[in-house]
A = this chain, B = another copy of it.
Amino acid sequence: MENIGDEYKLYWETTTFLQTEEIDSWGLDEALSGYYDSSSPDGAQSSAASKNIVAERDRRKKLNERLFALRSVVPNISKMDKASIIKDAIDYIQELHDQERRIQAEILELESGKICDSEEEIPALLRSKKKKIDQTFDSGESRASPIEDLELGVSYVGENTVVVSVTCSKRRDTMVKLCEAFESLNLKIITANITAVSGRLLKTVFVQAEEEERDHLKIQIETAIAALNDRENSVSL
């Protein structure tokens, strides 16, 4: 019935991203040209129906983009599931609430004992927080630099082993981001290696996976990295 299925083998968000534009392009043409209602005698009604179709398609697309954007601002995404994405977002927000509540408790305590002549007055929690700032002050500026000039190779080398090879230009936190991207995927990593030299960054990962998972793995990695870049650039989608 449908010819979309040719490239339709991958997971929803990637298919959405990679394909919605294409689909929508010819989908819109299809809708405008009235291809599917050739049996209906009424042209005006079919036009209205076509408009409805394209509107609905657009609505779905927007919703998926939003969902993808939501996923990109939530770390530790367990599953790519739509419902799971929302669930993880809820958990994450509650976690942030909890954390903020504790910090404010500390600040209240700090505020009540006003004389903070030296470091003795700062509770241990804040001190550790401070050290966290120290090491995230530059790396914690999460809007810094995206991962650029990326080249990704995935190849099956036998023994249920897939070798992933990534090169990109080395920016401020590229190494951290790249590690995060791979950690988030929960792969069965046999051995991994990152090397930074002369402005470039090379990462090689041996992953335990069947050959059939190869393409899926590549899409997964691309998606994770794209999500990282997305998180940097776009705030409102």
Tell me, rounded to whole Å, the shortest Cβ–Cβ distance linking A10 to chain B.
20
The answer to whether A181 touches B135 (Cβ under 8 A) is yes
Please tell me if A49 contacts chain B, counting CB pairs below 8 Å.
Answer: no
A143-B97 Cα distance, complex, nearest whole Å: 11
Task: List chain B residues, Cβ under 8 A from A47.
Answer: none
Q: Which residues, 106 to 143 on A, are CB-close (under 8 Å) to B?
A: 107-108, 110-112, 114-119, 121-122, 124-143
Query: Given contacts A135-B224, A231-B129, is CB(A111)–CB(B122) below 8 Å?
Result: yes
Query: Given contacts A179-B179, A227-B128, is CB(A195)–CB(B191) below 8 Å?
Result: yes
Q: Which residues, 203 to 218 on A, are CB-close (under 8 Å) to B?
A: none
Please tell me if A235 contacts chain B, counting CB pairs below 8 Å.
Answer: yes
A36-B228 Cα distance, complex, nearest whole Å: 53
The answer to whether A139 touches B94 (Cβ under 8 A) is yes
Range class of the A interface residue count: 35 or more
The answer to whether B135 touches A184 (Cβ under 8 A) is yes
Please tell me if A163 contacts chain B, counting CB pairs below 8 Å.
Answer: no
Task: List chain B residues, Cβ under 8 A from A224.
Answer: 134-135
- How many chain copies? 2
The 4 closest A-B pairs by CB, nearest first: A131-B227, A135-B184, A114-B118, A66-B86
A96-B100 Cα distance, complex, nearest whole Å: 9
A98-B236 Cα distance, complex, nearest whole Å: 9
The answer to whether B133 touches A101 (Cβ under 8 A) is yes
A-B contact pairs, 21 of them (CB 8 A): A63-B83, A66-B87, A70-B90, A104-B129, A104-B132, A104-B140, A107-B126, A111-B119, A111-B127, A112-B130, A128-B230, A132-B230, A132-B231, A135-B184, A137-B184, A138-B186, A175-B179, A179-B179, A191-B195, A192-B196, A193-B196
The answer to whether B62 touches A236 (Cβ under 8 A) is no
Query: Given contacts A133-B104, A183-B175, A197-B191, is CB(A93)–CB(B90) below 8 Å?
Result: no
Please tell me if A67 contacts chain B, counting CB pairs below 8 Å.
Answer: yes
Tell me, rounded to whole Å, the shortest Cβ–Cβ distance linking A216 to chain B.
16
Q: Which among B119, B135, B139, B172 is the interface contact of A95 at CB below 8 angstroms?
A: B139
